[in-house]
Amino acid sequence: MAVIGWKADVIDRAALLNRFPPIWPDIIADHVTFGGKLASGQLPPSVAAPDCRPR
């Protein structure tokens, strides 16, 4: 099984926790899972995302 997602940057992590308040007390929040339960042949090609953070 393959999972699609990415690691959260420290700045992104703070913004995500602010936007989506945690329900559980033991917060890790170091990644975002976009999808799962895919066979390895169904994965889309890898891409490099641009850095969209404000400067």
pLDDT digits (tens, 9 = 90+) for 4-50: 777 888 888 888 889 888 898 888 888 887 766 666 666 667 767 66
In a domain, 52, yes or no: no
Give the per-residue pLDDT at 37. 65
Residue 23 lies in a domain: yes
Which pLDDT score, from 0 to 100, does residue 2 have? 63
50 within a domain of the structure (yes/no): no
Chain centroid offset of residue 46 CA: 15
Asked if residue 33 lies in contact with residue 2, where contact means CB atoms within 8 angstroms, the answer is no
User: Which structural domain, as residue segments, surrounds residue 38?
Assistant: 2-42
